[in-house]
Amino acid sequence: MISAADVSFAYDGTPVLADVALDARSGGVVGLIGPNGSGKSTLLRILYAALAPRRGTVLIDDTPVASLPRREAARRISVVAQEASPELPVSVAEMVLLGRSPHRSALQAYTAEDHRIAATALTRVGMRDLADRSFATLSGGEKQRTLIARALAQEADHLLLDEPTNHLDVRYQHEVLHLVRTLGITTVVVLHDLNLAARYCDSLVLLDRGSVARSGPTPVVLTPEVVEPVYRVAVRLVDDGDCVQLVFRPQVDAASPQDAERLVGPG
């Protein structure tokens, strides 16, 4: 379980988050959504103690995350961040094996079990055939899948992902999020695509200019009444059978009939 209460943060005195709360229950998938600049990535970094909040608390299974020793935190929390991964001269398999480091002392060699876990993680993200390739030569999408495999190899029971579908084509966007959805571990994921959030998240926290505009079960958050004023775009819901999807269209200023005619046509 991950919980945050009354979290506030500022960069150089400029407020970024104000009194934000989040509850990610064991085994559930919570999506962080909101427009650009709403504070999603900042909140995620606070959840794994890369940033310290100006005010508020973050708990991992009732333990303050800031109090966890680094190795203990790495055993309990896997992170796939947006920051570019360093171009280390390592193979894909070696990059994924780094996920096993929290389970080994600094001088302890990787075991056969570590190699098996890393290979399984690569298979799950569709990268097993590229295990011997240099990580530096991969495409953006291939690197992203490798980093997700590294997080899976870590075998932590909390997973934090910042835009994991960046650089991925449509097939792998769905395959990666379906995989995340079926892991059965506590997950918080930053997503820009609201339809991916609708399909794969149990609950959502919608941020708007650093504050929580709405949080709760996904169907409660993704309604036109909630989404339209935050994103400033018209929304129509479509029942896709197993979930609701959103169709967007520009909001037309009633004072601009020329724009309206251009968008919808005369008559």
pLDDT at position 218, please?
96
pTM of the model: 0.87
Determine contact, residues 222/51, Cβ cutoff 8 Å.
no
Per-residue pLDDT of the chain (267 residues; tens, 9 = 90+): 999 999 999 998 899 999 999 999 999 999 999 999 999 999 999 999 999 999 999 999 999 999 999 889 999 999 998 766 667 789 999 999 999 999 987 778 899 999 999 999 999 888 999 999 999 999 888 888 899 999 999 999 999 999 998 888 898 899 889 988 988 899 999 999 999 999 999 999 999 999 999 999 999 999 999 999 999 999 999 998 888 999 999 876 544 444 444 444 444
pLDDT at position 260, please?
44
pLDDT at position 262, please?
43
